[in-house]
Amino acid sequence: MNKSLMETITHNLIAVFIQILCFLYFIFPWNVIFTIIFAFLSHIILDDLSFITYHTPDSMKKDKFWLIWHYIIYALSLFSIVLFVIPYWISILFANIVDLWDWFTLRPIQKRIKRKNPDSKWGDKYYMHQIIDWVRKKLFYWLPNRIYKKSGILIEISIIIVFAILLGLLNVSLFID
């Protein structure tokens, strides 16, 4: 399983954009159903595109650039959650459900099991990122691998800026109307 993932803020901004469009163009219950489906699919597509951005598979805590980038991106991610979670919780949840399941549910359980039985393969087949890896191999195999290129942050910064501007143009409300 590949560890190259888009950052939470990117998933959140696109999730909010998706929910706004779904609630604008679909009636209940279709607005909720399509928000869930499109937010989930956006995670797959974004993580597939992460190969063209700076996303080292392992921590590089001795690299100042890596540290500074991650302090900034984690702060922005937390800010995006605090800012948008109340009115847009459904899209944010489903745009991040893959990471919540793989990184915060399955991985800790698997670590405990592997402490007792290091050869255990328990849980490997339940990782949702396998879907992402499969899609990447089938549809996005042609993308260059830039996960170690520091200039790759410019691509993710561009995505963040574009969607922040789009949300601004849509007059995003932080309150449910």
Q: Is residue 104 part of a domain?
A: no
| DSSP character string of 92-142 | HHHHHHHHHHIIIIIHHHHHHHHHH-TT--TTGGG-THHHHHHHHHHHSTT
AA letter at 4 = S
Q: Is residue 116 part of a domain?
A: no
**pLDDT band (50, 70, 90) for residue 177:** low
Q: What is the tens place of the pLDDT at every residue in 113-154? A: 888 888 888 888 888 999 999 999 999 999 999 999 999 999
pTM of the predicted model, to two decimals? Answer: 0.88
Which residues make Cβ contacts (< 8 Å) with residue 12, sequence separation at least 6? Answer: 77, 80, 81, 84, 92, 95, 96
Q: How many independent structural domains does the chain possess?
A: 1
**pLDDT at residue 1, as a whole number:** 43
User: Range of 28's domain?
Assistant: 8-97+128-169
Q: Is residue 161 part of a domain?
A: yes
Is-contact 109 38, C-beta < 8 A?
no
